């Protein structure tokens, strides 16, 4: 009986080999070319299951190899398993493919090799990654299948796993099972209620009718009671049906495991009642090959159509590229000419203030427009130190009261009170410089892009690159300026410092009204107001109740007024010089550097690589067409 079964499975694999293997190889070649990233979905058997559902055991039994085992998540990256039956091989051939690496391995070393490759991809911890690892198994007697094994679903992270492990795994699973071309192999443990399985809930979200879901029920020997009713009732709507299997136990060989499985379903009083057409690993292998063949046959016309459409689109774009960009030397010449012309134009516009290239377009008279912006910024800053209290000197009085101490000398102006007021006033106007540099760089970006596009108008294919490079560059320059502004504001708030002689001169002028102020405060029968330089007429009657502090408050206000003019002037000059320096650096150094990095570092190799990929894709499409033609016309293929 066992020999007959093995013979039937081998015969089945052999018959599929001639018909399906070439097409499956062609699909795998397209998968390696990453056509799925171009929106072209390929027929894929996706293996999903809750953690500890027995998913790895099923795959081991299909492939006849050992996969990594252990506590927690064993599969931490998508594992693409390509099983290839080769009856002429005396020894199995196994290799891992990832990150442009090909690593040969053996049956004995495959588990360690997968674990090592997984650590290389996802790190040595317990995290997961969406970067796939491909395992190619060429072996006599294995079913011709390509499957993607995904991490088992777990809701509660264990030590060393990220807190959002469930969300990460769910996102990977949904990405693979959502395309209608995907066949979902849902691995369920017989020991649980099927409707409670998270993998069932996920597959039902994307395949409500179950037409592309096949369920494998593992651990049948652990929970035989009611299993027949479970798979017969189909409460979870599995359209492609169920296959019940027994997991390999301990050190059993795969041959022993299959013999025990066959014996279990033939002799067990409950499990023997299950139809033999839905039990056993050999039946599962046969069902998967049949489903895979049907899925490929159904998807082929649409795949070929989409690939040809994508190919035509990309080739059209490359055909539109000017011929003189076809070689590295010509590309260098065009690039350097465009860069040289653009830099000279920007020197005239942004540095020297020459606008003969755009005489009638005032928006391109860059130095004048930036000067207008600086004037507007300067005019928007308060020239007179603003007060938070409309009543003369009351803000200073409040701060002095809060800053006083038992160890201070009488009539001595506390420096911390001065700094409190200064920081408050600098902070109140700190948004202005940031808004100014944002506005300037937005304008500079418009000028730079317009000039670069003007000098590359004969090469429309590179203009998106130029625009992107300009936006990246200006974004970096803008961020640098904003950081500079923040540091400048922090410096102004850190200390009261200046060597400008105008400070003492202005303070002396303002203090000229000191005696008149004190006279009004002390003369209760006199006036309640007086005229002060830079203030005009001010009411001071309310200060008589604070007479002890009035003189200090007056001195502080005049110092703040004198120093504020220094702060505003210094801020305008500093920001203006920074903009001039930054624009110079942009034109003379940064623009060229950014364009070179993007063009020669990424875009040009990408274009050349795109051309090579298209050529490779064209060959694969041609091969695909020939394989498809031969599979439909077997007589012609034998001629």
Tokens of 611: 């051309």
Nearest to 575, CA basis, from 456, 474, 475, 492:
492
Same domain, 384 and 283: no
CB 224 within 8 A of CB 268: yes
Q: Looking at the DSSP assignment, which residues form a beta bridge with residue 103?
A: 96
Both structure tokens of 574: 């500093």
Are residues 333 and 247 part of one domain? no
Instruction: Work out the number of other CB atoms within 10 angstroms of the CB of residue 428.
Output: 12
Whether the predicted model's global pTM rises above the 0.85 cut: no
Residue 596 resides in a domain: yes
Same domain for 307 and 336, yes or no, is no
Q: Check residue 399 and give its pLDDT.
A: 87
The CATH number of whichever domain residue 158 belongs to comes to: 3.40.50.300
Whether residue 233 lies inside any domain: the answer is: yes
Residue 636 in any domain: the answer is: no
* Cβ pair 465, 598 in contact under 8 A: yes
Between strands 101-105 and 93-98, the pairing is: antiparallel
Q: Report the b/e string of 173-186 with b at 16+ CB within 10 A.
A: beebbebebbbbbb
Closest C-alpha to 511, from 491, 527, 494, 532: 532
DSSP annotation of 279: B
- Using DSSP's 3-state secondary structure scheme, residue 98 falls into strand
Q: Is residue 637 part of a domain?
A: no
Whether residues 249 and 349 share a domain: the answer is no
Co-location of 521 and 576 in the same domain? yes
Tell me the per-residue pLDDT of 327-371, one tens digit each, with 9 for 90 and over. 556 667 777 888 889 999 999 999 999 989 999 999 999 999 999
Residues 54, 29, single domain; the answer is yes
pLDDT of residue 613: 61
Which residues constitute the domain of residue 482?
329-621
Q: How many CB atoms lie within 10 A of CB 53?
A: 26
- For residues 218 and 186, membership in a common domain is answered with yes
312 and 408 within one domain: no
- Helix (H) / strand (E) containing 574: helix 547-585
Comparing CA positions, the residue from 214, 213, 115, 129 lying closest to residue 169 is 129
Q: 3-state class of 333 per DSSP?
A: helix
User: Among the residues of 320-353, which ranges form H helices?
Assistant: 328-346
Q: What's the average pLDDT block by block, 10 residues per block, for the chain (639 residues)?
A: 44 50 73 68 88 86 79 76 85 89 90 90 85 90 88 80 87 92 93 91 92 93 90 88 89 87 93 92 90 84 78 65 56 79 93 91 94 93 76 88 63 79 89 94 95 86 82 93 95 91 92 91 80 90 87 92 92 95 93 75 55 60 60 43
Boundary of a domain, candidates 267, 289, 317: 317
For 216, phi then psi, to 5°, come to -110, 120
Predicted confidence at residue 561, as pLDDT, reads 92
Q: Is residue 635 part of a domain?
A: no
- Would 291 be classed as within a structural domain? yes
Amino acid 270: pLDDT:
93
Residues 174 and 305 occupy one common structural domain: yes
Quote the tokens at residue 309: 């459409």
pLDDT 10s digits, 581-615: 999 999 998 888 888 776 655 555 555 555 566 55
Q: CA-CA distances (angstroms) from residue 542 to 72, 411, 521, 524, 561?
A: 76, 20, 9, 11, 21
How many domains, the chain?
A: 2
SS3 sequence of 116-156: HHHHHHHCCCCCCCCCCEEEEEEECCCCCEEEEECCCECCC
- Which of 262, 295, 317 is where one domain is finished? 317
Residue 612 lies in a domain: yes
> In terms of Cα–Cα distance, which of 315, 393, 405, 371 is closest to 560?
393
CATH number at residue 547: 1.20.120.1240
What pLDDT is stored for residue 322 in this prediction? 53
Alpha-carbon distance of 550 to 180, in angstroms, equals: 82
Confidence at residue 186, expressed as pLDDT on a 0 to 100 scale = 95
268 and 355 together in one domain? no
Q: Does 60 map to a domain? A: yes
Domain boundary among 317, 343, 360: 317
Question: Do 81 and 59 form a contact (C-beta atoms < 8 A)?
Answer: yes
**Is the same domain home to 115 and 256?**
yes
The answer to whether residues 245 and 368 belong to one domain is no
């Amino acid at each position: 009986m066992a020999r007959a079964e093995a013979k039937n499975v081998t015969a089945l694999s052999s018959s599929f080999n001639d018909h399906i293997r070439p097409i499956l190889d062609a699909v795998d070649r397209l998968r390696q070319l990453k056509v799925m990233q171009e929106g072209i979905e390929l027929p894929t058997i996706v293996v999903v299951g809750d953690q500890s559902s027995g998913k790895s055991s099923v795959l081991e039994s299909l492939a006849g190899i050992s996969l990594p085992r252990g506590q927690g998540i064993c599969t931490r990256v998508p594992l693409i398993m390509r099983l290839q039956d080769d009856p002429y091989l005396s020894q199995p051939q196994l290799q891992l493919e990832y990150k442009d690496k090909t690593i040969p391995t053996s049956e004995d070393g495959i588990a360690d090799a997968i674990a090592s490759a997984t650590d290389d991809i996802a790190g040595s911890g317990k995290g997961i990654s969406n970067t796939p690892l491909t395992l190619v198994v060429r072996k006599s007697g294995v079913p011709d299948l390509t499957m993607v094994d995904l991490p088992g679903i777990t809701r509660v992270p264990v030590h060393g796993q990220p807190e959002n492990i469930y969300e990460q795994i769910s996102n990977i699973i949904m990405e693979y099972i959502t395309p209608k071309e995907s066949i979902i192999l849902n691995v369920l443990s017989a020991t649980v209620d099927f409707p409670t399985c998270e993998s069932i809930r996920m597959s039902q979200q994307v395949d409500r009718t179950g037409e592309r879901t096949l369920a494998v029920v593992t651990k049948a020997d652990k929970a035989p009671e009611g299993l027949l009713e479970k798979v017969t009732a189909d409460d979870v709507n599995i359209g492609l049906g169920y296959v019940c299997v027994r997991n390999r136990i301990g050190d059993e060989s795969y041959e022993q495991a299959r013999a025990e499985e066959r014996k279990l379903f033939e002799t067990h009083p409950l499990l023997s009642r299950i139809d033999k057409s839905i039990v056993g690993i050999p039946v599962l292998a046969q069902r998967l090959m049949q489903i895979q063949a049907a899925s490929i046959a159904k998807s082929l016309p649409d795949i070929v159509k989409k690939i040809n459409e994508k190919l035509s689109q990309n080739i059209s774009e490359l055909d539109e590229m000017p011929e003189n960009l076809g070689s590295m030397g010509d590309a260098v010449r065009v690039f350097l000419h465009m860069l040289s012309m653009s830099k000279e134009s920007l020197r005239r516009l942004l540095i020297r203030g020459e606008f003969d290239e755009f005489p009638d377009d005032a928006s391109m008279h860059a130095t004048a427009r930036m000067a207008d912006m600086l004037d507007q910024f300067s005019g928007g800053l308060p020239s007179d130190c603003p007060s938070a209290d409309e009543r003369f000197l009351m803000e200073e009085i409040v701060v002095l009261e809060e800053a006083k101490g038992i160890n201070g000398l009488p009539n001595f102006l506390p420096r911390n009170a001065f700094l409190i007021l200064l920081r408050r006033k600098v902070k109140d106007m700190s948004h202005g410089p940031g808004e100014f540099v944002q506005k300037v760089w937005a304008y500079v970006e418009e000028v730079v892009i317009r000039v670069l596009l003007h000098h590359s108008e004969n090469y429309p294919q590179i203009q998106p690159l130029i625009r992107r490079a300009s936006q990246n560059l200006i974004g970096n320059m803008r961020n640098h300026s904003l950081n500079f502004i923040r540091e400048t504001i922090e410096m102004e708030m850190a200390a009261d410092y200046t060597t400008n002689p105008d400070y003492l001169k202005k303070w002396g002028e303002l203090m000229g009204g000191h005696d008149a102020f004190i006279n009004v405060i002390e003369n209760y029968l006199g006036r309640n107001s007086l005229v002060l330089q830079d203030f005009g007429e001010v009411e001071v009657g309310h200060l008589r109740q604070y007479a002890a502090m009035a003189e200090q408050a007056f001195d502080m206000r005049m110092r703040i007024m004198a120093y504020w003019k220094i702060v505003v002037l210094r801020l305008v000059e500093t920001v203006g010089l920074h903009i001039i320096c930054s624009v110079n650096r942009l034109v003379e150094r940064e623009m060229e550097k950014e364009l070179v990095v993007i063009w020669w570092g990424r875009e040009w190799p990408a274009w050349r690589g795109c051309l090579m990929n298209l050529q490779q894709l064209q060959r694969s499409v041609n091969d695909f067409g020939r394989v498809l033609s031969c599979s439909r016309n077997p007589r012609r293929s034998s001629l």
